[in-house]
Structure 1
């Protein structure tokens, strides 16, 4: 169990292609690991990021699982039901690992 509702998750992305022309790159990204039930509360603790409005870093609930409606938690539960045929219990914690918007870009 993660004791905080928000964490950073750095990742290194590598890509290499050999054909039709050799090409390669590496990039470092920082994902957010968050509890969707507490993300709005967590955003109030820092002025550098926000939920539902522009900022250096921002989370917009409409960016996640766009084929479903509802809150991020409801969308995740619908996706689990559809793809795993499994009902997530109401008392379970749900965590999301996602790239936030940087300066409005996703």
Structure 2
């Protein structure tokens, strides 16, 4: 949880491929952890940052969630209520990279939904690919009293052309007062470990000085993500990895999973 309208997270994103050939890389990035109930306040916290309008850095609700006329917070809350027996989210946070000069590409954005007692009740992993598609892996965290238990699901969405559309993901998270760590492991259908990816971030106050520091460090952070994806894809192609064709538009926008207190599904 956060007390302010948003926090700045200074992060390192890393990828490690285990099969069929080892390959690893990492790059610096920064994220915002935003309270979706306080976007109006967030848009007034720095002259460098705006909500739903152009600025050097900005956040636009239409970049996330399903299409609709409702605000993003209500779209996510209604999605959870409709799928999980009317469960009501009292507070929803979003972890995502902001737009930079109007451009953003978020391979992964994460929604955290809390109940009226401040307990984490649901997590939505919104995954985007370079074909302009999105798929949300939605987890209802039943009985959660602290950090989320490890949770897993089948892979349902084409992301990398160097992996087939099978296997399963395992998600792990650790939230500290000054840090946030996210780990995703990808396993093949026979349990073979194919790929790991993670975000290791330090939590900072959202302030103009902190934003300026990150802009100097990464002046085109959002563009850099896309450049890194295509550069690493070229390296994998040069290693002669098998290429799996895009299977066509994803048949479903989201998949849903119930996680018990011990992490079972």
C-alpha separation in 2, matches of 1:73 and 1:10? 24
Alpha-carbon distance, 1:85 to partner: 4.3
Which aligned pairs between 1:1-106 and structure 2 lie closer than 5 A?
A: 1-17=1-17, 23-89=23-89, 92-106=90-104
Structure 1's 37 and 15: CA in aligned 2 closer, same or farther, altered over 3 A?
same
Secondary structure at the residue paired with 2:10?
strand
Q: After superposition, give the CA deviation of every residue in 1:48-76 in whole Å (9 maximum; x if it has no partner).
A: 01011111110111111034441011111
Structure 1's 74 and 3: CA in aligned 2 closer, same or farther, altered over 3 A?
same
Structure 1's 85 and 100: CA in aligned 2 closer, same or farther, altered over 3 A?
farther
Give RMSD over aligned pairs: 2.3
Q: Structure 2 unaligned segments of length 5 or more: list them.
A: 105-265
Larger RCO, structure (CA 8 Å, separation 6 or more): 1
Q: After superposition, give the CA deviation of every residue in 1:9-63 in whole Å (9 maximum; x if it has no partner).
A: 2332112447777653211221111111211222112110101111111011111
More deviation, 26-35/14-23: 14-23
Regions of 4+ moved over 3 Å: 16-24, 82-86
C-alpha separation in 2, matches of 1:83 and 1:12? 34
Alpha-carbon distance, 1:105 to partner: 0.9
Secondary structure at the residue paired with 2:92?
coil
TM-score normalized with structure 2 length? 0.35
- Select the structure that is richer in strand: 2
Secondary structure at the residue paired with 1:88?
coil
Structure showing greater Rg:
2
Alpha-carbon distance, 1:86 to partner: 4.4
C-alpha separation in 2, matches of 1:101 and 1:83? 30
